[in-house]
Every structure is written in structure tokens, then in C-alpha cells.
Chain A
Amino acid sequence: DTAVSQTPKYLVTQMGNDKSIKCEQNLGHDTMYWYKQDSKKFLKIMFSYNNKELIINETVPNRFSPKSPDKAHLNLHINSLELGDSAVYFCASSQDRGERGYTFGSGTRLTVV
């Protein structure tokens, strides 16, 4: 009964490929997010979705696109992968405005070779 689940946990791919990371939450939360953790462990928000509407779109390359088929899912699609995209990507969710905190998935380690 995982609260926020991401697949796959590990992803190794070649430069130039297109890949997707899936995220699902069963908490009934209103908002979902994608965070990127770089090699120095720094976490930065990429996107958030609230009721299927994009609320935050930080200055990430437009090769990254979030897709939300419904309130419980927020997938991350990445086109034309580059070496610099290698990182750990975390999905998270929160109820309302997240005052009580965010629940994170276990992360997807993406390695671009």
C-alpha cells in the first residue's frame, strides 16, 4: 500500500532518447510535484500540478514535460535526453497547500550515457 510510487526506480539510457517516469499516489492528495536531486544532493522543484492544472513551472528545459491523466497520476516525460539530465527524480504529493508536509516517492535514478 505504497503512498507515492514511482516507476522505474532505475533508468539507464543513451543520449538523445526519449523516456518517461511514472508516478501514482493513493493518498487522495490534491497536488503532485516533480523534484530533481543533482549529484550534490541538492533538491529543486521542477513542476507541480493541482487539479490537473500546472501551477509551477520552474526554469527547466522544455524537453521536460509533465503529463497528468488524472488527479492520482503525474508522469514526467523527457525528450532528447542529455548527459546533464542524469539525476534522481522524485515525485511528491500534498493535500491542499502542503501545510502538513509532502509525501515523496522513493525516487528514480536516471543515468544518461
Chain B
Amino acid sequence: AQTVTQSQPEMSVQEAETVTLSCTYDTSESDYYLFWYKQPPSRQMILVIRQEAYKQQNATENRFSVNFQKAAKSFSLKISDSQLGDAAMYFCAYRSATGGGADGLTFGKGTHLIIQP
């Protein structure tokens, strides 16, 4: 079974600075998908960014980018120019690309990101 590990329970960054959230995963598969989700205090789960394992190019979405290291099974999220609205729980998630039907997401335990004004 796949596991996802987020080793930073909490991170703090000054507004306008850059922060990197760590995520590692364990899998024996070669094809899969990785995601970062944001959960603000409103409780809503919001997709931030996704990465396909077969693509070497790191995904970017505006101020959000990932550093995907497939051999190291690492998938970190970099947030540039941090804003107060970025304060939230961030979850790393894994999804298998194989299997006989729909698969669910396996989540890490989350990182609580605090933005200091």
C-alpha cells in the first residue's frame, strides 16, 4: 500500500516570502499522480496543483510550483510571494494510475501553514 509522509506538522513564513512544504511517498508503482490540496479554516478542500509521474517537468500554477523528484519519491510545494490568504492546512496526496477501477486519494497528515503579516 502507498503511504504519503509530510514531515512538517507546522510551518511559518513572513508575508511576501517563499516557503517550501515537504512531501515524500512510498510506492512500488511507476505511474501515478500527485496532488497538493489546501484546506483553509472554511474546511473546503481546494486543489492547488497536480503532477503526473510520467512528466519530468515540474508543474506550476501562478505562485505555486512543485519540485518533483521521482527517484527520491519527493514532491515538495513551493509557495512564492506568500499571502495572508495562503494560510491553511496543506495536504499532499497520491493516486495510483493502475488498478481495475476508480481509486481514491491517499493523503499525508498535512502541514499547517501560518503566514506572519
> Residues of A with Cβ closer than 8 Å to B?
30-31, 33, 35, 40-45, 48, 50, 53, 55-56, 88, 90, 92, 94, 97-104, 106-107, 109
Question: Looking at A43, A48, A88, A100, which has the most chain B CB atoms within 10 Å of its CB?
Answer: A43
B97 and A45 form a contact (CB under 8 A): no
Q: Which residue from B43, B91, B104 sits with its C-beta under 8 Å from A45?
A: B104
Asked if B29 CB lies within 8 Å of chain A CBs, one says no
> Residues of B with Cβ closer than 8 Å to A?
33, 35, 37, 39, 42-47, 50, 52, 89, 91, 95, 97, 101-107, 109-110
- What A residues does B46 contact at CB under 8 A? 104
A22 to B65, CA, bound (A): 35
Q: A41-B110, A106-B44 are in contact. Are A55 and B50 (CB under 8 A)?
A: no
- What B residues does A55 contact at CB under 8 A? 101-103
Known A33-B104, A44-B107; 15 more pairs at CB < 8 Å: A30-B102, A31-B102, A35-B105, A41-B109, A42-B110, A43-B91, A43-B105, A98-B102, A98-B105, A99-B97, A101-B35, A106-B44, A107-B43, A107-B45, A109-B43
- What B residues does A109 contact at CB under 8 A? 43
Q: For B110, give the chain A residue with the smallest CB separation.
A: A41
The 6 closest A-B CB pairs, nearest first, are A45-B104, A104-B45, A31-B102, A55-B101, A43-B107, A101-B47
Question: Looking at B91, B102, B105, which has the most chain A CB atoms within 10 Å of its CB?
Answer: B102
Interface of A is mostly: strand
Q: Which residue from B35, B89, B101, B103 sits with its C-beta under 8 Å from A41?
A: B89
- What B residues does A30 contact at CB under 8 A? 102
A104 to B44, CA, bound (A): 7
